[in-house]
């Protein structure tokens, strides 16, 4: 894949994501329950005026709308299974989650969408083989470094 944008920090991550989905009306995030849920809510914040949903794992029956409240973004009621863009979060490609690229491809074949975006950390889609196995339109790959001081 060709590099089309560079950014730094969490603000750059949010702006980069907002730019990727600027023309979309509905976005569905697919991620591992618990671990990926806050990332979907975080990424959705700068585009909170759009219709969004989160699917935990491959459990479409547990799909929930993402709504904007006075406390930020939250999961709400069930909703439809179609979107302009599907965003696969990198937790799904982690070996301990137990989902293969083939299982994800079969899951995606049940959905109606126009674009597929991967958002992950430390090249998880490339390392897991998902970058080659799935037809991503874009992959947003992030590295976050940090320190703890006393």
Q: Per-residue pLDDT tens for 96-128?
A: 999 999 999 999 999 999 999 999 999 999 999
What separation, in Å, do the N-terminal and C-terminal C-alpha atoms of the chain show? 41
The CATH topology of domain 24-141 is Rossmann fold (3.40.50)
Whether residue 54 is predicted with pLDDT greater than 90 in this model: the reply is yes
pTM: 0.95
Percent of the chain with pLDDT over 70: 100
Q: Where are the domains of the chain?
A: 24-141
The answer to whether the beta carbons of residues 17 and 78 sit under 8 Å apart is: no
Neighbours of 105 (CB within 10 A): 13
Whether residue 19 is predicted with pLDDT greater than 90 in this model: the reply is yes
Percent of the chain with pLDDT over 90: 85
Given this model, what pLDDT does residue 59 score? Answer: 96
Given this model, what pLDDT does residue 1 score? Answer: 82
Whether residue 144 is predicted with pLDDT greater than 90 in this model: the reply is no
Given this model, what pLDDT does residue 146 score? Answer: 82
């Amino acid at each position: 894949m060709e590099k089309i944008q560079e950014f730094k920090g969490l603000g750059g991550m949010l702006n980069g994501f907002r730019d990727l989905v600027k023309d979309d009306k509905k976005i569905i995030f697919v991620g591992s329950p618990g671990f990926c849920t806050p990332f979907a809510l975080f990424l959705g914040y700068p585009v909170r005026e759009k219709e969004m949903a989160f699917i935990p794992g491959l459990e479409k029956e547990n799909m929930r709308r993402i709504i904007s409240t006075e406390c930020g973004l939250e999961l709400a009621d069930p909703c439809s299974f179609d979107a302009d863009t599907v965003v696969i979060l990198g937790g799904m490609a982690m070996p301990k989650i137990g989902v293969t690229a083939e299982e994800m491809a079969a899951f995606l074949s049940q959905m109606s969408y126009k674009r597929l975006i991967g958002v992950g950390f430390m090249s998880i889609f490339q390392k897991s083989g998902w970058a080659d196995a799935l037809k991503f339109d874009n992959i947003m790959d992030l590295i976050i470094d940090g320190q703890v001081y006393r």
